Amino acid sequence: MTLFTERSIWTMIHGIVLGGSALLAFSAALYCMWSVRTADGNDSAARTRCGHLARLMLGLTIIVWAMVLIGTYVNFPPYRATPPEGATDLSAFPRSLLNSNPETAWLHGFAMEIKEHVPWMIAMLMTAVSFVLLRYHSDLVERPRVRRTISAFVTIGFVLTAGVALLGMLINKVAPLA
Amino acid sequence: MNQRSQSLTRPNGTAAAALLSGAIGAFAMGLFALSNEWGIFSAPTLYGPAGGVSGRTTFAVVVWLIVWAVLHRAWRAREMNMSAIFIASLILIALGLLGAFPPVWQLVG
């Protein structure tokens, strides 16, 4: 018996490795932004932290794009595969397995439908944030309004990523890609 | 002119263009999802095994990048009203999320 199949390894890379790393990086980024919220242009420590934040967000953006692309092009195809005519064991066909039971059908019709689109929004928003941080770097200390917009984007990204991760966990609990 | 004084004279238009285009990309993603569900426009499938989501997401990314390039070119030397960009971005992101929210799809048909 194989402990981990190739599909389950990709699922773990997508959800645990990349999803977990993204949530950790979001937490660190939010803390970093909070720590410079009252800083002015003469605060050298805050300028240094903004520099760290730029590198952190670049890493986070790469993680989010990897998570999104693996989710869409590696994990999603086997999830939505159509079972052969007359198949009774649907365990290898998660979408069909979820839809076969009215109590779990919402995990496809609601949870997976959200997971198909919302992570792409997160990736685009975080790319924009990374670009601005890398472009303006520590000088964002002197631009509170740009900082406020960036903080809102990162907060939204964090909440959405946590929500999408929860939905993915529920789907994987009922119909794992094994 | 040192690096810091250069940055102080650098307009915020570059940041405004990047952030607003990100929000427009999120809005486009929701719009493509909604228009597909309502039968208004279905982006073609670009990768068969992944189905229609491959087309919808690619189209949204293309819209995002085009808008970003256009806004960047137009705003890079300008000082923009970041409060307006902030509010517009939040509205666009909210609308995008609504478009990707399955209960909204069921409002029609």
- Print the domain residue range for B47: 31-108
Question: What does the pLDDT profile of chain B (109 residues) look like in tens digits?
Answer: 444 545 556 899 999 999 999 999 999 999 999 999 999 999 999 999 999 999 999 999 999 999 999 999 999 999 999 999 999 999 999 999 999 999 999 988 6
In a domain, residue B95? The reply is yes
- As for the ipTM of the complex, it is 0.93
How many domains is chain B built from?
Answer: 1
Please state the φ and ψ torsions of residue A130, each to the nearest 5 degrees: -60, -45
In a domain, residue B48? The reply is yes
In a domain, residue B72? The reply is yes
In a domain, residue B90? The reply is yes
Q: Do A128 and B22 touch (CB under 8 A)?
A: yes
Q: Closest to A132 (Cβ–Cβ): which among B15, B89, B97?
A: B15
Chain A environment of B53 (Cβ under 8 Å): 72, 76, 116-117
In a domain, residue B42? The reply is yes
Tell me how far apart the alpha carbons of residues A107 and B14 are, in angstroms, rounded to a whole number. 40
Secondary structure (H, E, C), B21-80:
HHHHHHHHHHHHHHHHHCCCCCCCCCEHHHECHHHHHHHHHHHHHHHHHHHHHHHCCCCC
In a domain, residue B67? The reply is yes
Say whether residue A167 is in contact with chain B using an 8 A CB cutoff: no
In a domain, residue B83? The reply is yes
Q: Do A76 and B8 touch (CB under 8 A)?
A: no
Range name among A93-102, A123-132, B8-17, B65-74 with the lowest pLDDT average = B8-17
In a domain, residue B10? The reply is no
Tell me how far apart the alpha carbons of residues A69 and A76 are, in angstroms, rounded to a whole number. 10
Predicted confidence at residue B1, as pLDDT, reads: 41
